[in-house]
């Protein structure tokens, strides 16, 4: 990690070898699936509309890999060609596992700023869980005690959700 101060803001550059490996693995898996799908579609006898629908579905399932592949569809028929865009692949490989964070905090330890960022990510994930999996939506309370009660119940629900998640990932011992 490196600190890059500029004007009244601070930039934190973070690079993780583990994250590079993880992102490469995810990209490879997605690209492998997309490549196989495109090969299969290129041999199928489809109408133009059906081909476009199947290509759209493949793009939707593997959006990161789709960006790395260039496709060319015939104007008058239902045929297409595809190839790997090596320039885009080089760009993606150069950026994976590397992050540039911008902050107005004055902390001088980049590891501490990275820790704050990870906490922020965890909070955002918790909010997403509360809104999605637990179906908790904002309720417009008029009284302070009702607001606090609503937040408390939402927090308890989140704690239960996390606890159950951890409990389900622990394998029982024989």
* pLDDT value at 171 more than 70: no
Q: How far is CA 142 from the centre of its chain?
A: 37
Longest pairwise C-alpha distance within the chain: 67
Q: Give residue 156's pLDDT.
A: 82
> For position 174, what pLDDT does the model report?
39
Kindly state the tokens that stand for 4: 């890059």
Q: Is the pLDDT of residue 37 over 70?
A: yes
Residue 10: what pLDDT?
82
**Lowest pLDDT segment from 56-70, 131-145, 152-166:** 131-145
- With cut-offs at 50, 70 and 90, classify the pLDDT of residue 159: confident
SS3 of 24-70: the string is HHHHHHHHHHHHHHHHHHHHCCCCHHHHHHHHHHHHHHCHHHHCCEE
pLDDT of residue 158: 76
pLDDT digits (tens, 9 = 90+) for 14-36: 888 998 999 999 999 999 999 99
State the angle between helix axes of 110-131 and 144-169 in degrees (0 to 180), rounded to the nearest 10: 100
Tell me, what's the pLDDT at 138? 61
Q: What is the pTM of this model?
A: 0.61
């Amino acid at each position: 990690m490196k600190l890059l101060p500029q004007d009244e803001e601070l930039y934190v550059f973070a690079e993780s070898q583990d994250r590079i490996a993880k992102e490469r693995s995810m990209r490879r898996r997605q690209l492998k699936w997309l490549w196989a799908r495109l090969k299969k579609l290129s041999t199928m006898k489809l109408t133009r509309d059906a081909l476009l629908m199947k290509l759209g579905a493949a793009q939707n399932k593997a959006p990161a890999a789709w960006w790395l592949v260039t496709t060319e569809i015939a104007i008058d028929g239902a045929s297409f060609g595809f190839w790997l865009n090596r320039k885009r692949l080089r760009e993606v490989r150069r950026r994976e596992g590397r992050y540039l964070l911008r902050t107005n905090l004055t902390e001088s330890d980049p590891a501490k700023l990275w820790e704050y960022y990870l906490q922020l990510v965890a909070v955002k994930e918790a909010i997403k869980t509360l809104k999605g999996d637990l179906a908790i939506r904002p309720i417009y309370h008029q009284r302070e005690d009702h607001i606090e009660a609503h937040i408390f119940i939402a927090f308890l629900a989140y704690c239960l959700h996390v606890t159950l998640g951890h409990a389900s990932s622990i394998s029982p011992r024989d």
